[in-house]
């Protein structure tokens, strides 16, 4: 079934919900005119529809495989990647000094989401490169920048991120990879990394790995870790790929989904690498890439949700079954109330998650453009929400998509199950959603809740302003924001972090629920209180927003009952 890029939805959210105009009003992004924004969305959408989406099933049915130590990619992926690179879609936000477009992260986020909806397996590749570009821009030496950035920006070379080891998953500080100085400014990197997305391919001239390893004098834990750039081929004096480095792909993981994306076990045997940033400060540099990726992964979830929604809607409008319960119905299953409930939930959730992600991107852009502390705080606060809620939404909406198809959803030929299989991992990588929630209730509240309170204040102010014209929508949003504030107060009062962590996931989701109501209300206000966006807002605010109360009850229950059952009790 064809994919249609939701260009109009992005434009509406830019103009009426997240305030892209405040970004383009800054000196930093003043060249991002409305015409340019429209052209970017239109052209990227066309590529996703015509080039990438036809590759979606190829990646699933004909997975990447390892052949004599070389990764062979799925049919058509090389041509699809070439379209991405030649269109400049790898480097929308990269510095123009190295060939990038220098456009806002907000536009990058929208384009990445469209690519994710069209073909998530392939979109993972440029997402990794984008994160590496940002990390090098902020932390690498000029010599590294001059060689690597123009080639990463152009898409000639690809980038990866190497954190995880078999014995050190989320506990990155337990890594064993080591780096020995070679005496010439380079380092010998030795160790093995797992779960490396797009660790190799057969279409890029070079693959550049950012690898975490420990120097001989590095302390135990994360504070002793350094970051190194380790290319597949060592650049010669002209910057062209030269001799092969001492690294290899040991194997490819056999995954539940994302079959077109080669997830590699990487082996480094004294491979030549260059230090990025300061010694023993690798985590700070890597977090630049990880924070970029966390918003991007949230967008992957939203893209999968959009793809699953379109797939399910098309099926529901074609599938005839049962007698229509409505007068002048279509005669297809979209007439049935439960099918309509599922499809409307899918659309309402996708809109809410998309708005949260784009609001996060706007905050990042405003931080970049102004350097203001309040924008930096907002960007940091929204990032775990965008990642966790975006990916949870992708999973839930894709699951509903299978249900809309009924028995045919369980049959692989329909393609409905692929969305669910592909998106499931997004709640795990770049920091599991549980870790995102723990960060949300710990580090993100270290300001005493100032960033959270500022957002709640804005939600209440908008609801207050809408009470006169849209009381049935504004009042529930206002009440929800007050309940959310009470939950925040409870979190802030807990001195034992485990009390917060026990309810971290439901608290993050409650915050996302209320933000979703806020952004749906904004759409209804912009539409004048009458139209399809208002009707969708009414559905969300009436049926989905009330979940925040149960979530906050869970969030503020503390940890005692979690430990009341012993491991033996759980296994009895």
Q: What angle do CA 46, 51, 56 make, to 5 degrees?
A: 120
248 forms bridges with which residues in the sheet?
A: 267
| C-alpha distances out from residue 109 to 9, 28, 92, 303, Å | 13, 18, 10, 10
The DSSP code sequence of 57-70 is HHHHHS--EEETTE
Local structure of 244: helix, strand or coil: strand
- Structure tokens, 457: 């204040």
Q: Which residues contact 415 (CB under 8 A, 6 or more apart)?
A: 1, 56, 57, 60, 311
Q: Which residues contact 42 (CB under 8 A, 6 or more apart)?
A: 7
Q: Please choose, from the candidates 458, 472, 560, 446, the residue with its C-alpha nearest in 3D space to the C-alpha of residue 524.
A: 472
Give me the residue label for tokens 């949260």.
Answer: 356
- In a 10 Å sphere around its CB, with 0-12 CB exposed, 13-18 middle and 19+ buried, how is residue 504 labelled? buried
Q: What angle do CA 192, 285, 124 make, to 5 degrees?
A: 65
Q: Which residues are catalytic?
A: 430
- Structure tokens, 253: 């993981």
Local structure of 31: helix, strand or coil: coil
Q: 206-214 and 157-162: which strand pairing?
A: parallel
| Main-chain dihedrals φ then ψ at residue 401, nearest 5 degrees | -60, -40
Q: What angle do CA 108, 253, 130 make, to 5 degrees?
A: 15
| Main-chain dihedrals φ then ψ at residue 191, nearest 5 degrees | 155, 180
Neighbours of 366 (CB within 10 A): 25
């Amino acid at each position: 079934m064809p994919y249609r890029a939701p260009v109009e939805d992005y434009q509406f959210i830019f103009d009426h919900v997240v305030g892209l105009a405040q970004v383009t009003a800054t000196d930093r992004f003043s060249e991002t005119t409305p015409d340019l924004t429209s052209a970017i969305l239109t052209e990227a959408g066309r590529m996703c529809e015509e080039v990438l989406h036809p590759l979606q099933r190829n990646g699933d049915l004909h997975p990447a495989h390892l052949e004599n130590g070389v990764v062979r990619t799925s049919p058509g992926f090389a041509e699809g990647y070439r379209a991405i690179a030649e269109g400049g879609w790898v480097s929308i936000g990269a510095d123009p000094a190295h060939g990038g477009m220098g456009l806002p992260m907000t536009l990058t986020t929208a384009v990445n989401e469209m690519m994710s909806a069209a073909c998530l397996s392939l979109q993972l590749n440029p997402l990794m490169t984008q994160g590496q570009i940002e990390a090098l821009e902020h932390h690498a030496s000029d010599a590294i920048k001059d060689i690597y950035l123009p080639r990463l920006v152009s898409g000639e070379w690809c980038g990866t991120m190497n954190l995880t080891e078999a014995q050190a998953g989320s506990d990155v500080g337990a890594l064993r990879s080591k780096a020995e100085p070679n005496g010439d400014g380079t380092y010998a990197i030795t160790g093995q990394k797992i779960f490396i997305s797009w660790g190799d391919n057969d279409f890029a001239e070079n693959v550049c790995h950012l690898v975490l390893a420990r120097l001989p004098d590095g302390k135990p834990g994360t504070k002793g870790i350094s970051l190194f750039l380790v290319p597949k081929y060592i650049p010669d004096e002209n910057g062209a790929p030269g001799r092969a480095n001492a690294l290899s792909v040991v194997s490819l993981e056999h995954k539940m989904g994302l079959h077109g994306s080669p997830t590699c076990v990487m082996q480094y045997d004294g491979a030549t690498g260059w230090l990025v940033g300061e010694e023993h400060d690798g985590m700070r540099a890597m977090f630049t890439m990880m924070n970029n990726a966390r918003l991007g992964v949230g967008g992957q979830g939203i893209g999968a949700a959009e793809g699953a929604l379109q797939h399910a809607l098309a099926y529901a409008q074609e599938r005839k079954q049962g007698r229509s319960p409505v007068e002048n119905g279509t005669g297809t299953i979209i007439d049935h109330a439960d099918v309509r409930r599922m499809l409307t939930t899918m659309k309402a959730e996708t809109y809410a998650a998309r708005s949260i992600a784009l609001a996060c991107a706007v905050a990042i852009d405003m931080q970049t453009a102004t350097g203001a502390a309040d924008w930096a705080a907002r960007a940091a606060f929204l990032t775990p929400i965008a990642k966790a809620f975006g990916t949870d939404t992708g999973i839930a909406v894709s699951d509903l998509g299978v249900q809309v198809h009924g028995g045919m959803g369980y049959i692989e030929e329909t393609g409905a199950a692929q969305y669910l299989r592909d998106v499931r991992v997004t709640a795990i990588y770049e920091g599991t959603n549980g870790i995102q929630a723990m960060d949300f209730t710990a580090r993100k509240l270290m300001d005493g809740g100032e960033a959270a309170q500022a957002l709640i204040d804005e939600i209440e102010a908008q609801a207050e302003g809408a009470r006169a014209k849209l009381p049935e929508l504004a009042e529930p949003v206002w009440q929800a924001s007050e309940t959310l504030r009470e939950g925040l107060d409870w979190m802030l009062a807990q001195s034992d972090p485990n009390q917060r962590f026990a309810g971290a996931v439901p608290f993050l989701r409650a915050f996302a629920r209320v933000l979703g109501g806020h952004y749906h209300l904004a759409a209804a206000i912009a539409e004048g209180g009458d139209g399809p966006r208002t009707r969708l807002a009414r559905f969300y605010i009436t049926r989905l927003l009330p979940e925040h109360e149960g979530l906050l009850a869970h969030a503020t229950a503390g940890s005692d009952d979690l430990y009341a059952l012993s491991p033996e009790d759980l296994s009895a």
